[in-house]
Structure 1
Amino acid sequence: MEYKVIEENGKVMVEGIKDFEPSHIFECGQCFRWNREEDGSFTGVAKGRVINVLKDENNIIFHNTNKEEFLNIWVDYFDLKRDYGKIKESLAKKDSVMKEATHYGTGIRILNQDEWEILLSFIISSNRSIPLIKKSIESLCKRYGCFLGKYKGKKYYDFPKLEALQNKSVEEIKESYTGYRAKYIVDTVELIRQKKVEIYNLKNLSTEKSKKELLRCSGVGPKVADCILLFSMGKFDVFPIDVWVRRIMEYFYFSEGTTLKKIQIFAKEHFEDMAGFAQQYLFYYARELGIGK
């Protein structure tokens, strides 16, 4: 990927990034710690840092960072070395639905997020709306995460480390609006603490083996496991299916009442090793058009 990186006054301006639209990236269901500002930019917490991202015509401006940090951290986080133009071109050839979906969500990129954070975040996400998920996560961060400082007058906290959540009771975790998921969090914290699941080693395993390990975690079912694999472990052959994605697939490809297994088989065979990318384009496309609700 060719782009020009210019640093000035606490910000980095990048010219020539293709296939990068902040709203597509941050509003396609893959992350919960990014929020839209009044000026249309997005402020988020990742990698122990607070960063603001703004698209200005053909340039992307990263505020509250520097060139060295951008090259060493954010290039990987935003998956800037991957050619999404080729991915969209390949998927568009699959069928007319994907041709429309890739055009509609043209600026989507799959973020390379922290495995531990994504594990707990998607346990919290089960059967909830995004505003409630964000509320729970921010509460946990404020209670147990390290203070990172202020940005534009607002205080920001890092995602809690494993150590900070050890020996916390279900009732304590419930104070962060997690509901019945509090027990899942407490049990999963203990499982990871005992190294019964090596969360940071799973990406080195096959998709099948890493998924099997994730399913040992309390509160992790097939859909949540697939989300963790896709959004933090680079397993792009998975196709997360929740109620909404199932409706989307029934709307575009099947009749109502199709089994999850049939949809999974179809996605694996039809989209192959690009299934995860296809899911994100379909999810964003259908949500924006109000399909599947």
Structure 2
Amino acid sequence: MLKETSIHKNQIILQTGYFDLKQTFECGQCFRWNEVEQGHYIGLVKDKVLEMYQVGQEISFYNTDEKDFKDIWVDYFDLNRNYEELIEEISKEKIMKAATEYGKGIRILCQDEWETLISFIISANNNIPRIKKILERFSKLFGQKMCYKGEEYYTFPTPESLQGITEKDLEEIKSGYRAKYIIDAVQKVNESQVDLYNLKNLETGEARKELLKIKGIGPKVADCILLFSMRKYSCYPIDVWIRKVTEKLYFKRECTPKEIQKFAEDMWKDNAGFAQQYLFYYARNQL
């Protein structure tokens, strides 16, 4: 939750608790923020290059102004949510208390639906360094170049700009078998077979069904898209890792994804997505 903001020319300084850049950018929800040095990140969101630097609870935003901060970044970084209250609400037992204490600086971003969709299609059976490289090649090949401090950055290509793309066109990004899934997504979104930017207005189950129409999107990828770009916070994305962690820490036995989903809904209700992120980050780094 916003504590105190000071405005300077081309810089905004935010005093806030429960926000850690490293935890937020490196918890697996986004792939186009890069650490320049410790506590110092640069990322590109739509056509905005943002530079951020953190010391303690002070976070500096560079290359922005008051209008963009209020219109874009407050929403993108979920700055109006009281994460202290959220953590207190979901930390009813010792496992989640340990997870939230370890990763309390994580904030769930509100990313662009299209970029998130393509990012998580590429993420399937992949690792974060390789995902980042594929997305950077994809943006450099098909996006628009921007310059900041003498460095080149590239916007994420829109579905409209990718109309008619072929697997041959995608060879350079080295996405492998996922190329055909990217092409299917381009086609279905451009032809309004999936009304991507309206899905956030649907009930979560209906929005999930629409996403599953696109090749390469299964339940886990769909839930990641819903959680990280559409504010569907009841989603609890279940991959191999989170399944093993939930089984080990809570069930003490093997169980089905359906059992895990029901458990998350009962335990954390509309905040299951937040719980998943804390649990994922904690288990990946501490267990």
Report if TM-score (shorter chain) is over 0.5.
yes
Is this contact kept in 1: 2:21–2:39, CA < 8 A? no
Aligned partner of residue 139 in structure 1, secondary structure: helix
What letter corresponds to residue 11 of structure 2 in structure 1? Answer: K
Secondary structure, aligned partner of 2:196: coil
Amino acid corresponding to residue 12 of structure 1 in structure 2: I
1:185 equivalent to 2:186? Answer: no
Shift of 1:102: 0.7
Q: Give the whole-Å Cα distance in 2 for the aligned partners of 1:39 and 1:267.
A: 34
* Aligned AA (1:26): F
Listed as ranges, the gaps of 5+ residues in structure 2 are none
Partner of 1:135: 133
Offset, 1:58: 2.4
Say whether residues 1:200 and 2:204 are aligned partners.
Answer: no
Distance 2:255 2:209 in 1: 24
- Do the aligned residues in 2 keep the contact of 1:51 with 1:64 (CA within 8 Å)? yes
Q: CA offsets, 1:225-268, max 9 Å, x none?
A: 00000000000001001011111112201234321111111111
Tell me which residue corresponds to 2:281: 284
How much does 1:183 deviate? 0.2
Partner of 1:62: 61
Q: Does 1:30 find its partner at 2:29?
A: yes
| Partner residue, 1:243 | 240
Q: Is the counterpart of residue 163 in structure 1 residue 160 in structure 2? A: yes
TM-score, normalisation: structure 1: 0.95
Corresponding residue pairs, total? 287
The alpha carbon displacement at 1:9 in A equals 3.7
SS of aligned partner of 2:220: helix
Displacement after TM superposition at 1:2 (Å): 4.2
Check whether the contact 2:2–2:79 (CA below 8 A) recurs between aligned residues. no
CA distance in 1, matches of 2:252, 2:55: 42
- Give the counterpart letter for 2:115 in structure 1: E
Quote the residue 1:150 is aligned against: 148
Q: CA deviation at 1:89?
A: 0.1
- Alignment-derived partner of residue 3 in structure 1: 3
1:40 matched residue in structure 2: 39
**Equivalent of 2:109 in 108, 111, 114:** 111
Q: Is the 8 A contact 1:6 1:67 kept in 2?
A: no
- Mapped to 1, the partners of 2:112 and 2:240 lie a distance apart of 25
> Which amino acid in the other structure matches residue 124 of structure 1?
I
CA distance in 2, matches of 1:83, 1:249: 26
**Partner Cα separation in structure 2 for residue 184 and residue 2 of structure 1:** 40
Q: Which amino acid aligns with 1:97?
A: I
Could you list the per-position Cα deviations for residues 10-50 of structure 1 after superposition, in whole angstroms to 9, with x for gaps in the alignment? 211112x1211101110111000011112421111113211
Question: Which is further off, 227-236 or 58-67?
Answer: 58-67
Separation in structure 2 between the aligned mates of residue 10 and residue 81 of structure 1, nearest angstrom: 22
Computed over aligned residues only, the root mean square deviation of the Cα atoms, in angstroms, reads 1.2
Q: Distance in 1 between matches of 2:60 and 2:111?
A: 20
TM-score under structure 2 length normalisation: 0.97
Q: 2:174 matched to 1:216?
A: no
- Identity across the alignment (%): 48
**How many Å separate the matches in 2 of 1:238 and 1:123?**
17
**Following TM superposition, by how much is the alpha carbon of 1:7 offset from its aligned partner in structure 2, in angstroms?**
2.3
Provide closer, same or farther for how the CA distance between residues 68 and 211 of structure 1 changes in structure 2, counting only shifts above 3 A.
same
Whether the aligned pair in 1 keeps the contact of 2:34 and 2:42 (CA below 8 Å) is yes
Question: Do the aligned residues in 2 keep the contact of 1:135 with 1:177 (CA within 8 Å)?
Answer: no
Match of 1:174 among 165, 171, 175: 171
3-state SS in 2 of match to 1:266: helix
